[in-house]
Structure 1
Amino acid sequence: MFTDRDACERAIQAKDARFDGRFYTGVLTTGIYCRPSCPARTPQPRNVQFFPTAAAAQQAGFRACKRCLPGATPGSPDWDVRGDALARAVRLIDDGVVDREGVPGLAAHLGYSTRQVQRLLADGAGAGPLALARARRAQTARTLLEATELSHADIAFAAGFASVRSFNATMLEVYDTTPRELRNRSTRRRGTDLGGLTFVDLDLAVRQPFCPCNVFGHLIATAIDGVESFADGVYHRTLRLPVGYGVASLAPTSSGVSARIGLTDLAQLPTAVARIRRLLDLDADPVAVDAFLSEDPHFAPLVAAHRGRRIPRGVDGDEMAFRILLGQQVSTAAARTHGARLVQAVGDPVETPVPGLTHLFPTPQRVLKAPPEAMAFPQSRRDTIARVATALADGSLDLGVGADRDAARSGLLALKGVGPWTVEMIAMRGLGDPDAFPASDLGLIRAAAELGLENLAGHSQAWRPWRSYATQHLWAMTPHAVNSIPGHPGCSQEEA
């Protein structure tokens, strides 16, 4: 996008929020970079320069605008749509790999050399891995300054800075403001400590339009006791994190999603936020998806009724794989029962102040230790789950945020008992593939018959690369609890 200068100029002239996060505008006369929708006076075209990431703008010497706060935009949908090494690298950086393992760790995840990774990101994202990680740390520090009462020293180390001095210097360079001034300007309610967790309240930016019905409805209807709960219009779940654990309480609002996140280690905040954004598919480009699908006359009325549908994903690819295997050929209620048994048997117990949240979903290693009574289904499925758990545990199968989607599909299909439907469901919900399509799904087949589509698999080729979103619309044609949020006025069961 940022290389199409004419398109970028049209977007900033229109102050079009749909492009926030897709590119950033550096104003040469002020040394400030903004999001496309910045309310400030539009600069002259000759005085602007466009960047693919905030890190690229910072690296070029621009400071963040204090009016439009460009770091608080939805992420670029390009990193979700694309499955290449560049997109995988950016997703891994968002998940905190560089902060935890350094650039060599990032390179190892990708199977590249450190030099190749640096060149790849510099060419495609406009900044190297350290610059991208630094921009992430700066935004995390700003969030903590505005949302907690932590000392500046605690925030510096929680955000990943090596010293308070580097924290102060970076905040001044990026925001042209001291940490103290950022905190004093904040009007947010500050976080609290409860039950050994530090809680932070955030408003998660969402690219509009946003239809929360099926994404929240699915998460609520399939919630596994101990790991998830729903009460008073809020969906809650536990989070297994690289260090410690957390809980997230999420609810749709008129402008996006409100989130209350509790963590045992505040340094995990950016990772937790990144995983929640993936869970709710908040960085999608709904305008592009809706416009494309609406070109098919079968879809035009479906899209018009519910613009901005998202894909209910997961916070962890391994967890999602097991949940999909547990839900094969059984009802939603039965899948929840199977999941709750497994969690109670081998999930890690945690203490949280949120009623109903008592466990983390088990790791593959723990699943392999599940007793027979926790697997009350046919032996063939037990064997399949064991094969998947073994492959995940020994590293021969990767379903993580930076996984190669094609390799993951091949690896899954190579396992006895894992068929095409399961692979496509894991690709859609675990790997975040926007073009997954479980063509043999009975719900899709029923919807296709209702629409008069005789060759669903063949017709679906016209919906590429957005078949995962097409799937959401087709599923919603069948009345089911997964399509609506209980008590939510905008997405009643009858409308779904």
Structure 2
Amino acid sequence: MHDDFDRCYRAVQSKDARFDGWFVTAVLTTGIYCRPSCPVRPPLARNVQFHPTAAAAQRLGFRACKRCRPDASPGSPEWNVRGDVVARAMRLIADGTVDRSGVTGLAAHLGYTTRQLERLLQAEVGANPLALARAQRTQTARILIETTDLPFGDVAFAAGFASIRQFNDTVREVCALTPTDLRRRARTRFGREDHATSDVLSLRLPLRTPFAFEGLFGHLAASAVPGVEEVRDGAYRRTLRLAFGSAVVSLTPQPDHVRCRLVVDDFRDLSAAIARCRRLLDLDADPTAVVEALSTDSHLAPLVAKAPGQRIPRTVDEDELAIRVVLGQQVSLKAARTHAHRLAVRYGTPIADAGGALTHTFPTVDQLSEMDPDRLAMPGARRQTLIALVTALAAGEVELDAGVDWNRARAQLLALPGIGPWTAEVVAMRGLGDPDAFPVTDLGVRAAAASVGLPAAAAALTAHSTRWRPWRAYATQHLWTALDHAVNDWPPTENQQEKR
């Protein structure tokens, strides 16, 4: 979009927050870059440039606006709706792959040489992988500076900087403020209430409105695995398994943001934890595009108008999601949660949760490789499918992560015994984030389709759904809202919580 100057400039003139994250505005006369909705007077057209990412603007020497904080805007929805190598690379960089494995590891994961990948990213997003990772480190540092009392040495280490000097120089260059000044401004702007201790990080996760969070949080609550997830005091809480340790996150929805409280074992995991929370809640989605596309169907239009801004209930771990989908084959939500809870208690890693009842992280595929099939209280066919999936994930024969090719992952899943189109599409939708995934054989989808006058037969519904592309996953979410089911209830009723 940044290549369409007139469209971008109109968005800046109207201060349209819907375009925050799509591009940044670099002002030549001030050397500052802003988000499209920046409240200051729009600059003259001859004095601006538009860039696809904050990293691209930073690479050219522009500093972040102190008022609109463009580095804290929602991420571009473009990377979540595309399956090409650039989009896959951007998702992996957001997940911290460059910091963990370097550019060489990122390129190898994608099947490209380092030079090829750098050339592709430079051409499309205006920055190479190192610059993109640097921008992310700076944002992580800013969060820690503004929302915790951590010493700056610890902040630098946690954000991934190689030295205090590099940390200080980068913050001054990008923010035009020293770390001390940033913290002082945050204290003045937000007061003490938004500031965490060194143990708990409190922040706002930005998003694009409208935000119909009831279906999203209701689905997560209804399928919550005891010990791994819970609903407490109006928040959805769960454990995270990260590169350097574990974490507990508490997420509370608001109409225009999500309040996030994080307790992490190691602050080096902060960027990945935030990225996974955003992915879990589908916070980088473009609801306006979805609403406009799906509202053209007279059958869906009333559902869209009733609750615009649906998000896909996704996952913090793709392997976990796939395993839980297999556990849920042809059983109730309650039975699936029971099976998952048993696996978590038996094979997961215990954690401490001073603020709730979380007890374990969901086990890794390596931990599940030690499963005793005879102790799995489920039908033999599903037991065989679960073992086959875990074995394939552990061996790398099935790859599920933020950077995979969606269609290749589908093919790998479908090659396993007991995995059919329903399982593959639900994993593609909720695990991999394919916006066009469509579990047409789902009983709830077909029942909801019939209730709004759509064909219930799989073949006919598939044919009709072509008009919803590339947003069929969001059409699925809207159809689910037509059901009288716990996945649509937030907060859960007392009876639902007792059943759980």
TM-score interval w.r.t. the shorter chain? over 0.9
Corresponding position of 1:128: 128
Corresponding position of 1:163: 163
Please show how residues 265-284 of structure 1 align to structure 2 within 5 Å. 265-284=266-285
Counterpart amino acid of residue 452 in structure 1: G
Corresponding position of 1:82: 82
Aligned pair 1:175/2:180, yes or no?
A: no
Counterpart amino acid of residue 29 in structure 2: T
Counterpart amino acid of residue 393 in structure 1: A
| Distance apart, 1:354 and its partner CA | 3.0
Aligned pair 1:457/2:458, yes or no?
A: no
Please show how residues 1-16 of structure 1 align to structure 2 within 5 Å. 1-16=1-16
Corresponding position of 1:154: 154
* Contact 1:338–1:374, Cα closer than 8 Å, also in 2: no
| Distance apart, 1:369 and its partner CA | 1.8
* Contact 1:424–1:437, Cα closer than 8 Å, also in 2: yes
* Contact 1:321–1:426, Cα closer than 8 Å, also in 2: yes
Q: 2:242, 2:204 → 1: CA distance?
A: 21
Corresponding position of 2:20: 20
Q: Deviations over 1:383-405 (max 9, x none)?
A: 11111111110112111111111
**TM-score, with structure 1 as normaliser:** 0.96
Per the alignment, in what secondary structure is the counterpart of residue 246 of structure 1? Answer: strand
Corresponding position of 1:469: 474
Counterpart amino acid of residue 423 in structure 1: A
Q: Deviations over 1:86-105 (max 9, x none)?
A: 00101111011111111001
Corresponding position of 2:324: 323
Cα distance change, pair 108–131 in 1 and its aligned pair in 2 (3 A): same
Aligned pair 1:91/2:96, yes or no?
A: no
Q: 2:479, 2:492 → 1: CA distance?
A: 23
Per the alignment, in what secondary structure is the counterpart of residue 432 of structure 2? Answer: coil
Counterpart amino acid of residue 469 in structure 1: Y
Per the alignment, in what secondary structure is the counterpart of residue 6 of structure 1? Answer: helix
Corresponding position of 1:191: 196
Q: Deviations over 1:447-486 (max 9, x none)?
A: 2222222321110111110000000011111111111212
Identity %: 58
| Distance apart, 1:372 and its partner CA | 4.2
* Contact 1:345–1:374, Cα closer than 8 Å, also in 2: no
* Contact 1:192–1:199, Cα closer than 8 Å, also in 2: yes
Corresponding position of 1:210: 211
| Distance apart, 1:487 and its partner CA | 6.0
| Distance apart, 1:433 and its partner CA | 0.8
Please show how residues 318-467 of structure 1 align to structure 2 within 5 Å. 318-372=319-373, 374-454=375-455, 455-467=460-472
Aligned pair 1:260/2:261, yes or no?
A: yes
Give the 4+ runs in structure 1 shifted more than 6 A: none
Counterpart amino acid of residue 251 in structure 2: L
| Distance apart, 1:374 and its partner CA | 4.8
Per the alignment, in what secondary structure is the counterpart of residue 250 of structure 1? Answer: strand
Q: 1:486, 1:106 → 2: CA distance?
A: 40
Aligned pair 1:251/2:256, yes or no?
A: no
Q: 1:449, 1:374 → 2: CA distance?
A: 40
Q: Deviations over 1:16-59 (max 9, x none)?
A: 00000000000001000000000011000111000000000001
| Distance apart, 1:373 and its partner CA | 6.2
Q: Deviations over 1:346-401 (max 9, x none)?
A: 11111222321110101112222223465211111111111111111011211111
Number of equivalenced pairs: 485
* Contact 1:326–1:335, Cα closer than 8 Å, also in 2: yes
Structure 2: any 5+ residue segments left out of the alignment? none
Counterpart amino acid of residue 19 in structure 1: F
Q: 1:243, 1:211 → 2: CA distance?
A: 34
Q: 1:442, 1:290 → 2: CA distance?
A: 24
Per the alignment, in what secondary structure is the counterpart of residue 42 of structure 1? Answer: coil
* Contact 1:409–1:427, Cα closer than 8 Å, also in 2: yes
Please show how residues 303-314 of structure 1 align to structure 2 within 5 Å. 303-314=304-315
* Contact 2:369–2:394, Cα closer than 8 Å, also in 1: no
Q: 2:353, 2:443 → 1: CA distance?
A: 39
Per the alignment, in what secondary structure is the counterpart of residue 216 of structure 1? Answer: helix
* Contact 1:209–1:286, Cα closer than 8 Å, also in 2: yes
Corresponding position of 2:110: 110
Q: 2:462, 2:375 → 1: CA distance?
A: 36
Cα distance change, pair 332–176 in 1 and its aligned pair in 2 (3 A): same
Please show how residues 21-40 of structure 1 align to structure 2 within 5 Å. 21-40=21-40
Q: 2:246, 2:87 → 1: CA distance?
A: 26
| Distance apart, 1:190 and its partner CA | 2.5
Q: 1:41, 1:478 → 2: CA distance?
A: 47
Q: 1:162, 1:88 → 2: CA distance?
A: 26
Q: CA RMSD in A?
A: 1.2
